[in-house]
């Protein structure tokens, strides 16, 4: 019983730890994938921009524009999918940010699940001086994860049965499809 409580507390902590990247209450602004991509696109950096562009996450908004998506949304919410907050929640970032100052000029919700959806809104950590220090980046809003369990918990905030088309989520297989490490050495 006590163990179960601990597991629950751990789950709550990890989930709330990840959520700030997605809720509108955060004080940092979204810059958009093109801004992150200005640096994270070279072979030396690890081609993060290209890997993301070729991933399903880049199409998450476009998916909501398909007849298949509208069929699901109209049945459940009587709205088109792109007008349904319950769909946008997992398919884009930033749609619910009220303070327009927190939306950078290059940010587009059409880019779906983008860098900042997972790494946190980047207005304060995106400059080179901050980025070069992991510690400073984290102080300025970069979300990091301490182990594999936290990484997985982050994915599962979206990859879960609340998704109307949910498919079982195998972390190792799914991470392999989107991994974008900085090359060592």
- Contact residues toward ligand HEC (CB under 6 A) are 31, 33, 35-40, 45, 48-49, 52, 56-57, 59-60, 63-64, 66, 68-69, 72-73, 76, 81, 84, 86-87, 89-91, 113-119, 122, 126-128, 131-132, 134, 137, 144-145, 151, 154-155, 157-160, 162-167, 174-175, 177-178, 180-182
- Return contacts of 114-117, CB within 8 angstroms, 24+ apart: 114/32, 114/33, 114/36, 114/52, 114/57, 114/58, 115/33, 115/36, 115/37, 115/40, 115/48, 115/52, 116/21, 116/30, 116/31, 116/32, 116/33, 116/36, 117/21, 117/22, 117/57, 117/92, 117/93
Shortest Å, Cβ 24 to ligand HEC: 14
**Alpha carbons 51 and 157: distance in angstroms, whole number:** 22
Nearer of residues 7 and 76 to ligand HEC, judged by Cβ: 76
Nearer of residues 3 and 40 to ligand HEC, judged by Cβ: 40
Phi, psi of 79, rounded to the nearest 5 degrees: -140, 160
Q: Residue with the closest Cβ to ligand HEC?
A: 122
Shortest Å, Cβ 103 to ligand HEC: 13
The sign of the CA dihedral 142, 53, 67, 160 is negative
Shortest Å, Cβ 110 to ligand HEC: 12
Nearer of residues 1 and 165 to ligand HEC, judged by Cβ: 165
Nearer of residues 6 and 27 to ligand HEC, judged by Cβ: 27
Shortest Å, Cβ 141 to ligand HEC: 9
- What is the C-alpha R_g of the chain? 17
Nearer of residues 98 and 132 to ligand HEC, judged by Cβ: 132
Shortest Å, Cβ 142 to ligand HEC: 6
**Alpha carbons 141 and 136: distance in angstroms, whole number:** 9
């Amino acid at each position: 019983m006590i163990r179960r409580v601990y597991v629950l507390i751990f789950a709550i902590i990890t989930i709330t730890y990840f959520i700030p990247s997605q809720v509108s209450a955060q004080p940092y602004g979204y810059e958009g994938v093109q801004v992150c991509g200005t640096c994270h696109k070279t072979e030396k950096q690890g081609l993060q921009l290209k890997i993301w562009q070729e991933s399903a996450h880049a199409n998450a908004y476009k998916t909501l524009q398909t007849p298949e998506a509208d069929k699901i949304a109209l049945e459940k919410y009587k709205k088109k999918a792109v007008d349904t907050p319950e769909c946008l929640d997992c398919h884009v970032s930033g749609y619910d940010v009220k303070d327009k100052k927190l939306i950078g000029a290059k940010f587009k919700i059409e880019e779906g699940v983008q860098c900042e959806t997972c790494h946190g809104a980047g207005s304060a950590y995106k400059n080179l001086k901050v980025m070069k220090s992991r510690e400073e980046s984290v102080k300025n809003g970069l979300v990091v994860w301490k182990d594999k369990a936290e990484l997985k918990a982050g994915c599962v905030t979206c990859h879960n049965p609340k998704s109307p088309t949910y498919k079982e989520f195998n972390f190792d297989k799914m991470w392999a499809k989107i991994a974008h490490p900085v090359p060592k050495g």
